[in-house]
Amino acid sequence: MLPDGIGVVIGSKILGRPLSGKVAGIEYGETLLSRCASEGRTVFFLGAKPGIAEKAAENLMVKYPGLNIVGVNDGYFKDSAPIIDKINSLSTDVLFVCLGAPAQELWMWENVKKLNIRLALGLGGSLDVFAGTVRRAPEFFVNHGLEWFYRLIKEPWRAKRMLKLPEFLILVVLRRLFCGGR
Ligand code: UDP
């Protein structure tokens, strides 16, 4: 699992096992794609609104010559079975599941045994950023652990979801106090 949020980084410090920093899913994803390009691995994108994954694939194949994105599917489907068949029939090595949290984690958990792939990873709204329809937070926000704040300003409907962050930190503090951080 990636520490893709400042909350996890703060939590690790409170528990006395500090992580060296946040690893943004989108950066990890992009590094992985450049490795896939150089090592000849096949990639499949699942998620986002119709047309977005195609555009993301188009942009990334220009950016990383040799990158082999063998298929895409939007994230607004009812039946997973045909999508799983498609992923398997295209000999996919790496599957990006971009359905938002926690839907993507639940989808992977439910379907991992049916997928004949090497790696699946959940990367939220990354395809929107790769496609160029959503902009990532400016560097200042990213470097100061304030990406969540930028997203809150841009997408105020996230407020309810973000209330989970203080709830998470309270649980971490309680764990530290009563279980010594284990
Ligand atoms: N999405 C999807 N299917 C759904 C709901 C959402 O494919 O049923 C996509 C949505 O279009 C967007 C991504 O999931 O591209 C969620 O992005 P968000 O930035 O909210 O991800 P998170 O913050 O959960 O990582």
Inside any domain, residue 168: no
| Domain that residue 132 falls in | 25-136
Residue 95 counted as domain residue: yes
Measured CA to CA, the distance from residue 71 to residue 73 in angstroms comes to 7
- The stretch 78-90 carries a mean pLDDT of 98
Q: What is the pLDDT, as a whole number, of residue 126?
A: 97
What is the side-by-side order of every strand in the sheet holding 119-122? 68-73, 42-47, 94-98, 119-122
Are 173 and 11 contacting, i.e. CB atoms less than 8 angstroms apart? no
Q: Give me the pLDDT at residue 181, please.
A: 65
Cβ(125) to ligand 1 under 6 A? Answer: yes
User: Residue 77 domain-assigned?
Assistant: yes
Considering only CA atoms, which residue is closest to atom 20 of ligand 1? 100
| pLDDT tens string 21-78 | 999 999 999 999 999 999 999 999 999 999 999 999 999 999 999 999 999 999 999 9
User: How remote is the CA of residue 174 from the centroid of ligand 1, in Å?
Assistant: 31
Asked if 70 contacts 120 with a C-beta cutoff of 8 angstroms, the reply is no
Q: How confident is the model at residue 145 (pLDDT cuts 50, 70, 90)?
A: confident
Rounded to 10 degrees, the C-alpha dihedral 147/158/96/113 comes to 130
Evaluated on CA atoms 85, 89, 93, 98, the torsion sign reads: negative
Mean pLDDT across 140-169: 90
| Tokens, residue 28 | 């990890």
| 5 within some domain | no
- For residues 112 and 173, give the distance between their C-alpha atoms in angstroms, rounded to a whole number: 34
The answer as to whether 66 is a domain residue is yes
Ligand 1 midpoint to CA 65 (Å):
27
Q: Is the CB of 87 under 6 A from ligand 1?
A: no
CATH number at residue 70: 3.40.50.2300
According to DSSP, the β-strands at 68-73 and 119-122 are unpaired
Domain for residue 16, yes or no?
Answer: no
Q: Is the CB of 77 under 6 A from ligand 1?
A: no
Q: How many domains is the chain built from?
A: 1
Residue 30 lies in a domain: yes
Mean pLDDT of the chain: 95
Q: Flag whether 33 is in a domain.
A: yes
